[in-house]
Every structure is written in structure tokens, then in C-alpha cells.
């Protein structure tokens, strides 16, 4: 009798885990798939070639970003569609100690996420990052910041991602 209960418990666990993996194939979970790939990242401000590898992990439920520059700067983000809030969420950390947490959704064909950070004077900074597909193998990541709650914006990063085959 005990082995039958254990078997039923195991089967329920497996079917529940399988159902969770299947749900990540639904449309809202795939909205950020245009970012998947291995990329060379450049800007109009300099000639530095950065690298970014964007991969699906956790049975396709999570997107992992791994970013690096030739100078040794590195950062990673975890991105996931949160079915409870119906929003995408990103948590970014880097080797400079920055924590950036963003939430958002598709706006047209672009993923737009926003979140707050605090500066050295304990003032709020609004961060807005937009990822826009441009043509077949490129996209733009445009990061803006505002110190006046969105009245004016400054460019923090304007990157062109070109897919590496």
C-alpha cells in the first residue's frame, strides 16, 4: 500500500512538473525569443566590440543573458514572464555591484521594461530599456534614465546587437 501511495505521489509530481514546462510554450512566454542568440554588440559612441549570449534555460521558461566587454566588465540577467502579474521581469547583476530589476511587456514589436534604482544621494532614477528587432539578424537595446520621474530622459546605453552565426 505504501509503495502505491509513493507511486501516485511521484506520478502527480511528474505530471505537474510536465504541465509547468508545457505552459512556457504558450505565446506570452515566447514574446522575448527574438533576443535569443549569440551577439556582437556595438554602439555609435565607440569602437568597442562587446559580446552577449542570450539563451533559453529552465525548459524554455527563463532567458539567461551573459554579457561581457574586452575590459573585463561582465553582467548577467534572468528574464521571465510572470503569469501572475502578466509582465516580463528582468533581474540584472554585474561585476560592479549593480542590481537592476525591471518589469514590462511588448509594446508593438519591442520589449519595454522599466524599474527604479537609487543614486548615491538616495534619489530615485527611473530606468527604461527597450529592445527592438531591426532586421533579420540585428536588434537595438536602448537604455534611458530619468531623474525627474520621466519628464526628461538621458541615454545610458544605445547598443546595436548583430547576430553571430
Q: 41-89 pLDDT, tens per residue? A: 999 889 999 999 999 999 999 999 999 999 999 999 999 999 999 999 9
Who's near 91: CB < 8 A, 6+ residues apart? 77, 78, 99, 100, 101
User: What pLDDT does 23 receive?
Assistant: 82
**22 assigned to some structural domain:** no
Q: Is residue 20 very low, low, confident or very high in pLDDT (cuts 50, 70, 90)? A: low
**98 assigned to some structural domain:** yes
3-state secondary structure labels for all residues of the chain: CHHHHHHHHHHHHHHHHHHHHHHCCCHHHHCCHHHCEEEEEEECCCCCCEEEEEEEECCCCEEEEEEECCCCCEEEEEEEEECCCCEEEEEEEECCCCEEEEEEEEECCEEEEEEEEECCCCCEEEEEEEEEEEECCEEEEEEEEECCCCCCCEEEEEEEEEECC
The residues with which 51 forms a beta bridge, in sequence order, are 40, 68
**38 assigned to some structural domain:** yes
pTM of the complete model? 0.85
User: With 0-12 CB in 10 A as exposed, 13-18 as middle and 19+ as buried, what is 147?
Assistant: middle
The count of domains in the chain is 1
Q: What is the CATH number of the domain that holds 48?
A: 2.40.128.20
Per-residue pLDDT tens over the stretch 107-136: 999 999 999 999 999 999 999 999 999 988
**123 assigned to some structural domain:** yes
**10 assigned to some structural domain:** no
Mean pLDDT over residues 141-152, rounded?
A: 97
**16 assigned to some structural domain:** no
Q: What percent of the chain has pLDDT over 90?
A: 82
**34 assigned to some structural domain:** yes
**12 assigned to some structural domain:** no
Instruction: Write out the residue range of the structural domain in which residue 55 sits.
Output: 27-163
Amino acid at each position: 500500500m505504501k509503495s502505491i501511495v509513493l507511486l501516485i505521489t511521484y506520478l502527480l509530481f511528474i505530471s505537474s512538473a510536465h504541465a509547468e514546462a508545457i505552459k512556457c510554450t504558450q505565446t506570452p512566454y515566447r514574446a522575448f525569443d527574438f533576443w535569443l542568440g549569440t551577439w556582437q554588440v556595438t554602439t555609435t559612441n565607440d569602437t568597442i566590440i562587446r559580446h552577449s549570449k542570450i539563451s533559453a534555460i529552465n525548459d524554455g521558461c527563463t532567458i539567461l543573458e551573459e554579457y561581457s566587454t574586452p575590459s573585463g566588465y561582465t553582467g548577467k540577467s534572468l528574464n521571465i514572464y510572470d503569469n501572475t502579474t502578466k509582465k516580463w521581469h528582468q533581474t540584472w547583476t554585474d561585476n560592479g555591484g549593480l542590481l537592476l530589476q525591471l518589469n514590462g511587456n511588448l509594446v508593438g514589436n519591442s520589449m519595454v521594461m522599466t524599474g527604479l534604482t537609487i543614486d548615491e544621494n538616495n534619489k530615485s532614477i527611473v530606468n527604461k530599456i527597450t529592445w527592438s528587432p531591426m532586421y533579420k539578424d540585428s536588434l537595438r537595446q536602448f537604455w534611458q534614465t530619468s531623474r525627474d520621474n520621466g519628464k526628461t530622459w538621458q541615454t545610458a546605453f544605445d547598443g546595436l546587437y548583430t547576430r553571430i552565426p
